[in-house]
Amino acid sequence: MTETDPTEAVGPMRGVKVVELGVWVAGPATAGVLADWGADVIKIEPPTGDPCRQFQRMLGGDMPTNPIFEMDNRSKRSIAVDLGTDDGLAIALELLADADVFVTNLRVGALARLGIDHPSVASRFPRLVYCQITGYGSDGEDADRAAYDVGAFWARSGLASLLTPPDGDPPFQRGGMGDHSTALAAAAAVSAALFERERYGQGQLVETSLIRQGAYTISFDLNLLLM
């Protein structure tokens, strides 16, 4: 992983500290964009590492070269922490104490069990911008459902169906298409929340989801249907 000196950062996010607790693509991709803009990003990983570190091996390639992992984890620093222990949780909270932004795409139930869900964290650090990315939103029966972009963004939103010819097969989605567009939306939400914090001094929860991004992608069709 590329390591950078935060004091040498350039860009509109220079001086912004981001703590990322992300796996696979959508969360890490969001923090990767913020790092591109100059933020100092610290990635929290379990002792076994972000599972995306194994992507190259899953594809039958040779490690340690891992272009898919490297794509979304560029320009970050990383720390391995066991959040299931008191010491590990204390380390995470210490990192958040002076952070500006927390980015996560862990499931909402897991965050609550760990004690780092938004209500728990906001009560400690009211200036923190908490960015939560889910598959199907943070409310409802699917809120804690595991999701990948091929399901939530591509299939459940209706995108794949609209691109399928009559009596044909759905076109194949390339990896990360929904994750990366969702990450751009999340990075924009973080930027807006930081702008508001400059005015009013208060952090807030910002969130998006894979299915929401899929619905926005085909919003012309959905709006026509609603009419």
Give yes or no for a contact between 135 and 179, defined as CB atoms under 8 angstroms apart. Answer: no
Going from the C-alpha of 163 to that of each of 22, 151, 217, the distances in angstroms are 30, 15, 12
Q: Which of 76, 91, 97, 80 is nearest to 34 (CA)?
A: 76
SS3 state at 38: coil
Tokens of 209: 């989801």
Region for 169 from its dihedrals, namely left if φ exceeds 0, alpha if ψ lies in -120 to 50, beta otherwise: beta
Tokens of 118: 């938004």
In the set 82, 98, 179, 221, the catalytic residue is: 179
Is 179 one of the annotated active-site residues of the chain?
A: yes
Q: Give residue for tokens 């691109």.
A: 163
Chain centroid to CA 102: 10
Catalytic residues: 179
